[in-house]
Amino acid sequence: MDKHSLSSEIKKANREVYNSISPEKYNLNESIFNEDRRKACELMLLKAIGTSGDGRYLDIGTGTGNLLRLACNKFKFCAACDISENLLAKIANDFPSASLAASDAESLPFPDSTFNCVSCYALLHHLLDHEKLFRECHRILGKDGTLYTDHDPNYYFNRFYHVYYKIRFSGRHGFSSSTEDLAEYHNVYSPGIDPEKLRKLLLEIGFKKVEVTYRITDNRNMGFFGNLILGILRIAVKILPLKSFHTHFAIFAVK
């Protein structure tokens, strides 16, 4: 299968999975919806405001509005888009003041230089390639605008990641394994995403500053064995602070 066809199949799988899932099930993902993550995301949004202002904000791949919920009382105007029309319809009542659009992340329905801040939370691993997304983000951001991405699988953790992922998602949402695995492409079929390559790509596209941070993601739903692995990683990273001991990464870029 050529790259264009594979990319289309991945998008189709994501649309199918997230048009079928209920917001209640989606929100059970402990690695995203916990208090520590909420505080960390809030700090990143405040950092974005300090860099580029509190004017206009866009959340790409918003899901059930995890970041949108935090942004609505911080920015003067908020918008969000997602490939799932049904998921957007289900969360519309939660965000009456936000502008919601069903959209492919690689072809955004917004004019140039529209936003001060754009976020992509747990989105990158759902896309085969990231250049089109990042070029779109650069296009719609104004001068000194900020891009914040987070919660994607770290390539440097690749030798452990698939074991970690299978433990986390054993007994998932009830979709066929092949469809959901395709929707989670970089969690299943690739060794994770290389944030250092993304840093280089963002600079080539025209972002003037790109910061990458690494972390070990908490997930209380992983059970004893899964949390034992995370505990060992936390001890290991204190002794040797290597990128390969971190499960996920975040990016903060300035145009």
* Model pTM above 0.85: yes
Residue type, 238: K
pLDDT of 171 > 50? The answer is: no
Place of tokens 């099930």: 25
3-class secondary structure, 13: helix
Strand partners, 118: 58, 147
Residue type, 4: H
pLDDT tens figures, 4-20: 898 999 999 899 988 98
Mean pLDDT calculated for residue range 147-175: 67
- How confident is the model at residue 217, as a pLDDT? 77
pLDDT tens figures, 192-230: 799 999 999 999 999 999 999 998 877 665 556 666 666
Distance of CA 234 to the CA centre of its chain: 23
| Tokens encoding 236 | 């290991």
Mean pLDDT calculated for residue range 174-201: 76
3-state helix, strand, coil in the chain (%, to 5): 50, 20, 30
> Looking at per-residue confidence, does 231 or 173 come out higher?
231
> Looking at per-residue confidence, does 212 or 165 come out higher?
212
Sheet holding 99-102, edge to edge: 99-102, 77-82, 56-60, 115-121, 141-153, 248-254, 209-215
pLDDT band at residue 23, thresholds of 50, 70 and 90? confident
Burial of 225 from C-beta contacts in 10 A (0-12 / 13-18 / 19+): exposed
pLDDT of 175 > 50? The answer is: no
R_g of the chain, CA atoms, integer Å:
17
pLDDT tens figures, 94-145: 999 999 999 999 999 999 999 999 999 999 999 999 999 999 999 999 999 9
Write out the H or E segment, with its range, that includes residue 19: helix 3-20
215 Cβ contact list (under 8 Å, min separation 6): 246, 247, 248, 249, 250
Where do the domains of the chain lie, and which CATH numbers do they carry? 3-254 (3.40.50.150)
pLDDT of 25 > 80? The answer is: no
